[in-house]
Structure 1
Amino acid sequence: MLENFLWGIATAANQLEGAWNEDGKGPSTADILYDGTAGEYPKELKVYPDKYYSYHLGSDFYHRYKQDIQLFNEMGIKCYRMSIAWSRIFPTGEGEPNKKGIEFYNNVFKELKKYNIIPIVTLSHYEMPLELVKKYGGWKNRKLISLYEKYAKTVIDKFHDLVPYWITFNEMNFISTIPFCAGGLWFDNNESEADKNKAMFQGAHHQFVAGAWVVDYVHNNYPELKVGCMVCGTFSYANSCKPQDAWDQINCDRETFYYTDTFVRGHYPKYAKSFLREKGVTLKIEEGDLEQISKGKVDFIAMSYYFTRVAPINPNNDAYLTNNERMLGKIKNPYLKVSQWGWVIDPVGLRIALNKLYDRYELPILIAENGLGAHDTLTADGKIHDDYRKEFLEAHIKEVKKASDIDGVDVLGYTSWSGIDLVSATSAQISKRYGQIYVDYDDDGHGTGNRIKKDSFYWYKRIIESNASEI
């Protein structure tokens, strides 16, 4: 591993901060999800008084950030991949910025600087002002482009001297999988799959334009900063060695490459027309859009990595899967074990993903998320013995080392998800724990909120100190 390798952790504002309606923050899309991204969605765009919302409390980072950052420093991390809550800066997405929100992040960044921890900031991480969904319908509306640009300019201008790395959108390829979280797209039962596809990919087009504007703005005004795109690295294996299955694998991987190809190369890939035509989509591209996209070539690629997929069989077969099922890896791989939540565990797949991306683009790659959600048991003497988490992370870091040291992949860094326990995006449970730091809350918000170092805390500290030489 390179000497300047960025070891760190990763979190998201909506899952960690809490204080969902304090100091002027407006409600966000995440704030109305009581059952997570994979569960039941509310029938109306509002908070129901009879429901419990774990995102509203999160891990209470908003009030405990100094304590938490001190623990991050004790763990030895060199960088912290985090996000800014858009609705904390612009409560309704419009109007003037919220001074209290800016003050909070300014305090967080200064606290990180005190410990020489480098922030890597995502501008939009499965969270946006709820009012922009109610008023404009989310990212399917072009109005979002200018509003996002205003938000991005506000925080970049304010924090450019404190934040050297920026990411435009979290897991942008999931706008076609969980469109409400990734794009603020709200569908009812009356809309056809074709209409949903049109909204999702038109929303993605608007995000391409807006994200490219951010890259262009930063390059012209703050050339010392770096801007990256991010995708969920859900690459696939062919279901068999049949030629049709090999072709299906190519199409599966294009569901990720469609996004990285556009952000890295500055134009839509040649296969975009056929890719979209199969989904019944014709994009509405206005004058200047493609020129703007061409100006927004990113400096690095960030990806989350949790699982791999098996490519679907021929769509003419009854076993053909929907986009959502394909993206979430519903075809099981008989060669891999699964986690407590049914996600396949595939460390070698991380090496493959890194090589696929680097062979294609030769840009630095940040592993922006990688971790294991599991039930942790607090022992009578206040310990958490999470050997399973250490084993998971070690197996994946081994493959990162191979990709870097043997394959020559330029791996910028590794930020494990999530360093500290937070609310799971998919299930809205804090009991689905990812952190090396235990947070004493249960799924109903009961507990002290105390922070307890797990065994994996000390293990990760040694990994960072040795630059993974002991693996």
Structure 2
Amino acid sequence: MERPFMFLVFLFFLSPQIQASLSHLTRDHFPPAFLFGAGTSSLQVEGAAQEDGKKPSIEETFPDGIRGSDKLKVAADQYHKYKEDVKLMHEMGLDAYRFSIAWSRLIPDGRGAVNPLGLKYYNSLLDELHSHGIAAHVTLYHFDLPQSLQDEYGGWVDRRIIEDFTAYAEVCFREFGDRVVAWSTFNEPNFFTLAGYDVGLAAPYRCSIPSFFNCSEGNSSVDGYLTAHNVLLSHANAVQLYRERYQPKQGGSIGLSLMSPWFLPATNSSKDVAATQRVVDFQFGWFMDPLVHGDYPLIMRRIVGSRLPTFGEKESKLLKSSIDFIGLNHYTIFYVHDDLGNWDMNQTDYITDVHARVSFPGVSPFEEKGEQESFPSAMSDLLEYFKQSYKDVTIFIHENGLALPHGNTPPSLESGDDDPRVQYLQGYLDALLTSIRNGSNVEGYFVWSFVDCFEFAAGKAFGLYYVDFEDANFERYPTPSSIWYSNFLHGKEGSKVKRHVYQTELSSYI
């Protein structure tokens, strides 16, 4: 269903007056039941990739250097340091921790026997969180399909994945659900289906545009849409199972999380405005419309035609209202241009269907030198769009944070290296509070990431805790932003605390 779309083109810049008001922001300004947390993913923090029966995922089987698969074998070593990390979460004052389960650690071949050591690890992590009063928000799939399923039938391009994913989900519900507050079936399916099966930017690197990413197999014209279709049906089947067998007794909620930048037209031309509407429909409506209304947006049906799969009547009914919440992973904005630049127009795929290119302010999103910029008002615009388009949907901000260069030493107060992240968190939390007061149904906020994760953007990290990846023990050190967030969570006026007070607290760890 197409909807009217209002573009709020005024971008919110932090003036000195606004910064002064933010210095008084604490969690006490938010509703009493509002959850504050931080998150990671198993792929990016656990490590132990070849220990205790775990088998590879599709992210771990490509040659070292493509996405740093060698570093993924150790990551941030949370598999061995989870008790230390949970203690740090408790001291920081987190209400909740968002993490993912590695499918190939729990069920190494993707189907069949459960790995008892994988089961033990996640039970131990959940018990540790529960004993410290930290709520668990658990993601079932965060990009890491067991390689065995990819080898057997191509993974997400085959409908057999629906049965295998649902069986995996049931093991998780049965074994862990008594300690899980919220389940996300998938993380960013509107990213990994496009990046992995259309443009070949992510595992399993399938596409049919070798002039761009030199893929060796795949059909970009249909594979992105087909994998998304199978993801939606996998979600719907897992939700039905959860609601029928587990939710009444366990009392948790279930949804999924979307990659959720905000989009603004590059110019005020009617073509760029129309292109921005198309991008929003293809980016959000692609998943939200089936989950809320039972079918894809009309604009996608019109443009994609027979290449877009159809839902049967029972499938549509199963999908409709199959979320208790939606998670939004929001970082920044994209500008939308109504042209494709140098893209090959002979290739028909998602990119040419939407007929638009997006860019960060002043820089291509594919340029590593590009810096993530802060536009807090974009979060308010995003939440207003979801409020108007999908009435009463419950929302969690499941990811929000700022990547900064990861140096050889922890950031210090004197250097100011972490100041942009502190300012970023302040600005977005203030925008979030404004949205809640304006009626957005947001129930929680999670910083990405709790500790420095393995990040695919070389030399960058998001962690509230700095991880020394060169140290044999992967020591964690609090950053100034972790101290600010902790002060915020404990009801202190974080940004008003003197720099020497921060340094006193930091020095106890260094």
- Give yes or no for contact 1:139–1:185 (8 Å, CA) kept in 2: no
Cross-structure match for 1:26: 55
Written as runs of structure 1 = structure 2, the 5 A alignment for 1:41-440 is 53-179=70-196, 184=204, 186-187=206-207, 189=210, 195-221=219-245, 222-223=247-248, 224-257=251-284, 258-277=286-305, 281-283=307-309, 285=311, 288-294=314-320, 297-314=322-339, 330-333=358-361, 341-361=370-390, 362-377=392-407, 386-405=418-437, 407-424=438-455, 426-427=456-457, 429=458, 431-440=459-468
Assess, with a 3 A threshold, how the Cα gap between structure 1 residues 136 and 34 changes in structure 2: closer, same or farther: same
- Give yes or no for contact 1:305–1:370 (8 Å, CA) kept in 2: yes
Cross-structure match for 2:482: 457
Question: What CA deviation, in whole Å up to 9, does each residue of 1:284-306 have, x standing for no partner?
Answer: 65674334323x52011101111
- Partners of 2:180 and 2:202 in 1: CA distance: 23
- Partners of 2:371 and 2:379 in 1: CA distance: 18
- Give yes or no for contact 2:409–2:468 (8 Å, CA) kept in 1: no
- Give yes or no for contact 2:255–2:324 (8 Å, CA) kept in 1: yes
Question: What CA deviation, in whole Å up to 9, does each residue of 1:257-299 have, x standing for no partner?
Answer: 211221233333333312423xx724265674334323x5201
- Partners of 1:353 and 1:101 in 2: CA distance: 38
**Unaligned ranges ≥5, structure 2:** 1-29, 497-510
User: If the length of structure 2 is used for normalisation, what is the TM-score?
Assistant: 0.80
**Unaligned ranges ≥5, structure 1:** 42-50
How many aligned positions are there?
A: 448
User: If the length of structure 1 is used for normalisation, what is the TM-score?
Assistant: 0.86
- Partners of 1:246 and 1:157 in 2: CA distance: 47
More deviation in 391-400 or 336-345? 336-345
Question: What CA deviation, in whole Å up to 9, does each residue of 1:4-28 have, x standing for no partner?
Answer: 1110001000000000011111101
- Give yes or no for contact 1:249–1:311 (8 Å, CA) kept in 2: yes
- Partners of 1:328 and 1:464 in 2: CA distance: 41
SS in 1 for 2:256: strand
- Partners of 1:60 and 1:209 in 2: CA distance: 34
Question: What CA deviation, in whole Å up to 9, does each residue of 1:225-268 have, x standing for no partner?
Answer: 21112111123111222222211011010122211221233333
SS in 2 for 1:122: strand
Moved segments of 4+, more than 4 Å: 33-36, 180-185, 190-194, 284-288, 317-330, 334-341, 376-385, 467-471
Please identify the structure whose Cα radius of gyration is greater. 2
Assess, with a 3 A threshold, how the Cα gap between structure 1 residues 455 and 282 changes in structure 2: closer, same or farther: closer
Question: What CA deviation, in whole Å up to 9, does each residue of 1:38-92 have, x standing for no partner?
Answer: xx47xxxxxxxxx861111010000010011100111100001110001111111
Assess, with a 3 A threshold, how the Cα gap between structure 1 residues 22 and 268 changes in structure 2: closer, same or farther: same
Q: Which amino acid aligns with 1:154?
A: V
- Partners of 1:342 and 1:304 in 2: CA distance: 18
Q: Name the Cα RMSD after superposition.
A: 3.3
- How many Å apart are 1:349 and its aligned residue? 0.8
Cross-structure match for 1:45: none
**Percent of pairs with identical residues:** 27
- How many Å apart are 1:363 and its aligned residue? 1.1
- Partners of 1:456 and 1:151 in 2: CA distance: 37
Assess, with a 3 A threshold, how the Cα gap between structure 1 residues 76 and 33 changes in structure 2: closer, same or farther: farther
- Partners of 1:217 and 1:381 in 2: CA distance: 46
- Give yes or no for contact 1:177–1:324 (8 Å, CA) kept in 2: no
More deviation in 337-346 or 457-466? 337-346
